[in-house]
Structure 1
């Protein structure tokens, strides 16, 4: 197996060449990475989370924290084995903490000290809803994280890293907010399975709303027709978890969002890619 490699290109090296560092053999990188001020990065493999320091021509592993990878299985609703989350920096100083969700049977949101990798807190990522998997990275603001369940979400088969265990599962989705402090983690709210969140949620700090596209678990009557293939634009209050908007905008399978990421423009317009189209959503 090829060993995973982290590296930088350009100005960091004396001659403008690539500077690399190898991570342990047998581990694979399936997610993106995050950078914090001061030349530090967080990289997650299918076995562990790494804190890397980039200085000139050198990349140093400052700390490594193994996590519960669920025996290396891919769950339904995930693209690959291990954690489905890109590390998220947040907290005091905007990057004092770094968080991932592991791949255990009861997946935990694990929060670490960014400087030394020590555990700040760890708790079940999801409460009474959803299922034990997420492919979406935590959304963060100040000392809080927003987590979305993707258990059972379907992706194009060519993007999936082998068969899932179990092969399929009902997609229930949902959001939860976790507040973090030196005293530990606590769940502030959860939406339950009211909304099947089908995109990576986006938080707008201008109005305090979490935006996403998804499906309704409870059928909604729209002029005599049920919403079996209806895609909804939803907005949820960051502080309370209460729904602020719930509007039909598209139909599946033509406009399946498949957990893609939206972009919110300066004017508040949300642009969302789907399997076949680009949606423009305005208030």
Structure 2
């Protein structure tokens, strides 16, 4: 294994550098979230990108808020805004500036009787005209309770709220927004939760009046239950936008999941799905990790990670070096599917037998996908060694690995990685943040 890496270049759409500071992943033992925890308090942290010194923090002004950092939104324009929802029904908009963080907007959807107390708020995201789209929901594999209905809608800049209520379904992932359209995937709950159940992919937009318009709704196979090690009852993937044409999710079919590519615009024929392709090995096929996509000018590459039988999230109980670190029990597989630019077909491109349980990141300049993995042979012996790995975009070949450390404190715990400036890769781990930089090949 190499101890050096080639140059890495940040991708503007995913880098979370604000000015000269990193707003990044500082988890402690309580949550798998982009969060700095002081006891049971959740906070944003601005961290120096070179020294990793914490420069400033922000704590919600309302007590006992469980912030959903899994699906917070960062705007990388000159406003440097962070939008984050709390399970308790609040939406906070915080601005990062030279002196710290400033709360510029706070919306309490429980106090407004939009969200009932006890029904968790999960998502919040801006559209292009300043509306804030939101959904209730939760992540079952992280301990959230099952909800037997959904509240989805948007808040105008004036504060006026519009909602759509859906029974017997639950939102278990993030949302995607393009223009004034929100895309959200739901999973079965309540009366809809049974063998061979159905989930739905929705495209929603504004109006008319006080309502929310459903542009289209398409069903998918949600299977019969959560997969071993899984987080979601239905699809485990947040909708991924492929340009302005398509979007991608996976289903949760019992034997073997599939990647489904939908048209973003409503199809007059009623056939919303453009194409689909089965993933991984039958009987060991699942994902609860968001897909990664790239357009090379003629076709899309969509990357899907297998996490069938993944180890659990670490909640701080038990030994930090316990069995939750063992990724060797998890089915391997990182797959790239090629989607034609005209949507005429989806084709399997390659599969690499490696175990990754956190969302990777692609550098279009180096042509490498950067992720976080583990030495499976050592893990079988109870020795947990962690590595940053770089895979070739075209072939899936592993180009290099860099060892970051050993033991539970270096476990990524399902947290995503981020590329920063000057060839820097950041990875959130159980007890902090790992940083590696460019090196010269030996």
Structure 1 position 248 matched with structure 2 position 403: yes
Question: Residue 275 of structure 2 is aligned with which of 121, 130, 138?
Answer: 121
Distance in 2 separating the partners of 1:273 and 1:153: 18
Moved over 3 A (4+): 55-58, 216-220
Distance in 1 separating the partners of 2:328 and 2:428: 24
The DSSP-based 3-state class of the residue aligned with 1:254 is helix
CA RMSD of aligned residues (A): 2.5
Partner of 2:241: 89
Offset at residue 169 of structure 1 (A): 9.4
- After superposition, the Cα gap between the structure-2 partners of 1:132 and 1:27, relative to the gap in structure 1 and judged at 3 Å, is same
Aligned partners of 2:404 and 2:410 also within 8 Å: no
User: What residue ranges of structure 1 are gaps of 5+ in the alignment?
Assistant: 160-167, 221-225
Structure 1 position 270 matched with structure 2 position 425: yes
Aligned partners of 1:198 and 1:215 also within 8 Å: no
Matches within 5 A, 1:98-117: 98-104=247-253, 105-116=255-266
What are the Cα deviations for residues 98-118 of structure 1, in whole angstroms up to 9, with x where unaligned? Answer: 110111121010111111261
Aligned partners of 2:291 and 2:359 also within 8 Å: no
What are the Cα deviations for residues 93-136 of structure 1, in whole angstroms up to 9, with x where unaligned? Answer: x121111011112101011111126111111122x599311011
Partner of 1:154: 311
Aligned partners of 1:154 and 1:258 also within 8 Å: no
Question: Residue 288 of structure 2 is aligned with which of 129, 135, 138?
Answer: 135
Distance in 1 separating the partners of 2:258 and 2:312: 23
The DSSP-based 3-state class of the residue aligned with 1:64 is strand
Offset at residue 200 of structure 1 (A): 1.0
Distance in 2 separating the partners of 1:229 and 1:65: 42
Question: Residue 171 of structure 2 is aligned with which of 22, 26, 29?
Answer: 29
TM-score (norm 2): 0.54
Aligned partners of 1:146 and 1:176 also within 8 Å: yes
Aligned partners of 2:313 and 2:414 also within 8 Å: no
Distance in 2 separating the partners of 1:156 and 1:144: 29
Higher Cα Rg, which structure = 2
Partner of 2:301: 144
- After superposition, the Cα gap between the structure-2 partners of 1:282 and 1:169, relative to the gap in structure 1 and judged at 3 Å, is closer
- After superposition, the Cα gap between the structure-2 partners of 1:206 and 1:227, relative to the gap in structure 1 and judged at 3 Å, is farther
Distance in 1 separating the partners of 2:369 and 2:282: 18
Aligned partners of 2:314 and 2:413 also within 8 Å: no
User: What residue ranges of structure 2 are gaps of 5+ in the alignment?
Assistant: 1-146, 188-198, 317-326
Partner of 1:42: 183
Distance in 1 separating the partners of 2:168 and 2:357: 32
What are the Cα deviations for residues 172-198 of structure 1, in whole angstroms up to 9, with x where unaligned? Answer: 33211100123311111111x2x2113
